[in-house]
Amino acid sequence: MADDKATAAAAGNNPYTQTHVVQSGDSLSKIAQKYYGDPALYTKIFEANRDLLKDPNKIQPGQKLRIP
Amino acid sequence: MKKLSVGLLAVMAALLVVACMNQKAPAEQAVSSAESALAGMRDGAQKYAPDQLQAIDATLQQMKDNFAKGDYKAVVAAVPGFNSALKSLKDTVDAKTQEASEALAKAKDQWEPLSKDVPKMVDAIQSRVDILSKSHHLPKGVTKDSLAAAKSGLDSMKSTWSEASTAATSADFTTAVTKAQAVKDQASGIMKSLGMSSG
């Protein structure tokens, strides 16, 4: 988890960090599958977006997530 | 008649000596001025116009040799050519100095955004490589080879970026920009290969 926080800090203000706009039906696991090939890595996305997300199971269409 | 001729020769010889003596001071002054003028622009000339400098050095050496031989007339006669070559050399050095100054200013301007952008690109790639290295499967479009290339690319980008930063610290912005741009281009390619270019 400390590793995830380091990833989040690096992604925070970096304009070169990829972004993903949440679509209806998306989950962090699905997004992790798309970008990392592994749904278990959803925590990386969650930690990088802690300013937007309080719960990894609650994401809203239209949210622009950082994909570290 | 013979007495008159001997007298005339003596006068002519005396005039020649006087003429030579009269030319010695201007010749000495010419050599001294030429050396001084050339010394003032030698550094710039060596950098921007070495061929012209070599030619004018040869002219100056010829003037010195002629002076040493007592051929003051030849020394004085060489002055216009030397001055002309010196002016041409100065024009070349001035133009190239101006050109270099403009190139340096341009490179300095280019360095500013590169110095901010490139480390962020490298950080973004490092982050993605670290995450993909933990993934049990790679995402669509990303191969093991492209991930391996990204890993080795990170090493070379960091090394080149370090060289760019060192060059910038030494105010060599031309080298810094060339190296930074190379890292940026490499980073763009790696980001594309890792599928980081689009959301």
User: What is the complex's ipTM, to 2 decimals?
Assistant: 0.89
Chain B contact for A2, CB < 8 A?
A: no
* pLDDT-derived band at B20, boundaries 50, 70, 90: low
The one-character DSSP state at A37 is S
Quick: pLDDT tens for B68-120. 999 999 999 999 999 999 999 999 999 999 999 999 999 999 999 999 999 99
Residues 7-66 of A with CB under 8 A from B: 7, 10-11, 14-21, 33-38, 40-41, 44
CA separation for the pair B173, B57 (Å, rounded): 33
Q: Dihedral (C-alpha) A44, A49, A53, A58: value to the nearest 10 degrees?
A: -50
CB contact under 8 A, A68 and B121: no
| pTM recorded for the entire structure | 0.73
First vs last Cα of chain A: how many Å apart?
14
Tell me: pLDDT of B12 over 70.
Answer: no
A1 contact partners, CB below 8 Å, separation of at least 6: A43, A47
In Å, how far are A45, A58, A59, B110, B188 from B199, measured between CA atoms?
A: 14, 20, 17, 28, 15
Strands (E), chain B: none
Q: Read off the pLDDT of each residue in B9-32 and give the average, rounded to a whole number.
A: 71
CB contact under 8 A, A37 and B126: no
Average pLDDT over chain B, rounded to whole?
A: 91
Write out the two tokens for B193: 């290969």
A48 contact partners, CB below 8 Å, separation of at least 6: A7, A8, A11, A12, A17, A65, A66, A67, A68
